[in-house]
Structure 1
Amino acid sequence: MPAEDLDLLPLARVPRQARSREKVEAALAAATDLVRTEGVEALTLPRVAEHAGLSVGAVYQYLPDRDAIIAVLVARYHARFEEVLDGVVERVRRTASAGSPDPLADLLDEVERIYAEEGVARALRAVEGSGPAAERRAHKDRMTAKVADLLVLTGLAPAGRARGVARLVFTAADGVLHEAFGLEDDERTALLRELRAMLRGYLAPAD
């Protein structure tokens, strides 16, 4: 998410001046680094401020506590997932006429890459109640709509059933992917193989 999109994040106060926006970006970068290197338990206001080279007061007005920091990081990663999936939808839309020998494999390759790269997002998900419930639900609804578009574009579901099919596919795949990327390589590979088999069977055209 570009710095100019700080306005879209659930900050306690929206920074207006360039210097203030730089401080918020520094605090969020520090929080992300702490999660990556030490885990979510390291996300305290003093630790984030210290890691960012800022005073507690400079961070407090935008990110007053641990819950606020987690909520903003979750919202930022939701936006990241949605942006990437938008890119997948657009690429599929541009190449739909050419077709793909295995659109489901193409889609899952892309989604697995996203989950593999977003270790911080996976760590945040493990926190009970991470982010406001309304935001989590809105994110799932947006992701479901995007998956529905993909299913229609790739011919994996008819338009009339796409939304319901997409909700099941997203819910199942999201849970399995988060579980898979917490496992060792061999176990992860086996679980992802089973996910593909399950989705392929579910999305197979009826005889």
Structure 2
Amino acid sequence: LAAEGAEALTTTRVAAEAGVSVGALYQYLPDRDAIVDTLADRYLARLETLMASFVERAARESWPDPVAVLVDAFAGLYRSEPGLRALWFGRHLTERTREADRGHKRAMAAGLHRILVAQGLLADDAAAAIACRTAFLAADAVLQEAFRAEAGGAADLLGQLKTMLRAYLGELARTPRA
């Protein structure tokens, strides 16, 4: 997947790489879509586990720049997971995986909200939750584009992403809540 892209992901190829017969593979993964769904579930779980670890840390630690901490961490995960990039950027996602991604984005935005509440930067209310969802969706799009542009992540886009998020979240933190 990482070396040749999602186009090379076939049941025959996966079985050969795994050292099992195609029939054995079909017992667990009956077709290419099942392989894509399984891989996507694993990648989404890694991202959500990373977010959960930051939620826990944010409750115990004070970060001078939460935006840099989070953007750098998720960029690092993208760098270390070429299969994730190949799958996500190859546009070969199934409808099941796209639906899982929608749920994933809601979970990630909720994690961001919990982090920013724990850091004392945003209120624990519905408006802040929507703002975090907006920030996450924007960050996700820019992060993906940065890694489409360059395998290591386009530094200029990642830098501008941090600037954008700091400005947006900083403005929200300064806005009094009624």
Tell me the amino acid that sits aligned with residue 9 of structure 2. Answer: L
Q: Is the 8 A contact 2:5 2:90 kept in 1?
A: no
Q: Which residue of 1 aligns with 2:6?
A: 40
Alignment partners' CA distance in 1, 2:128 and 2:34: 35
Residues 81 and 40 (structure 1 numbering): CA distance in 2 closer, same or farther, change over 3 Å? Answer: same
Aligned with residue 118 of structure 2, among 153, 162, 177: 153
Q: 2:100 aligns with which of 135, 142, 146?
A: 135
Cα offsets for 1:27-47 (capped at 9, x unmatched): xxxxxxxx0121111111111
TM-score with structure 2 setting the length: 0.87
Match of 2:18? Answer: 52
Q: What is residue 73 of structure 1 aligned with on the other side? A: 39
| Pairing of 1:97-136 with structure 2 (within 5 A) | 99-128=62-91, 130-131=93-94, 132=96, 133-136=98-101
State whether structure 2 residue 55 is matched by structure 1 residue 89.
Answer: yes
User: Which ranges of structure 2 fall in alignment gaps of 5 or more residues?
Assistant: none
Which residue identity lines up with residue 52 of structure 1 in the other structure?
A: A
Gaps of 5+ in 1: 1-34
Verify the 8 A CA contact 2:79 2:152 in the aligned structure 1.
Answer: no
1:182 aligns with 2:145: no
Distance 1:185 1:128 in 2: 17
Runs of 4+ in structure 1 deviating by more than 3 angstroms, as ranges, are 184-187
Q: Secondary structure at the match of 1:125?
A: helix
Following the alignment from structure 1 to structure 2, what is the Cα–Cα distance between the partners of residues 155 and 112? 24
* Secondary structure at 2:20 match in 1: coil
- Alignment partners' CA distance in 2, 1:107 and 1:126: 21
Q: What is the number of residues matched between the two proteins?
A: 170
CA shift for structure 1 position 174: 0.6
Q: Deviations over 1:75-103 (max 9, x none)?
A: 111111101111111111122xxx23222
Separation (CA, whole Å) in 2 of partners of 1:125 and 1:56: 25
RMSD: 1.9
* Letter matched to residue 86 of structure 2: A
One-letter code of the match for 1:134?
E
Q: Which amino acid aligns with 1:201?
A: A
* Equivalent residue letter for 2:69: D
Equivalent pair of 1:151/1:162 in contact (CA under 8 Å): no
Do the aligned partners of 2:79 and 2:153 also contact (CA within 8 Å) in 1? no
Identity %: 44
Match of 2:138 among 163, 169, 172: 172
Which letter does structure 2 place at the counterpart of 1:137? R
TM-score (norm 1): 0.75
- Tell me: higher relative CO, structure 1 or 2? Use CA pairs within 8 A at least 6 residues apart: 2
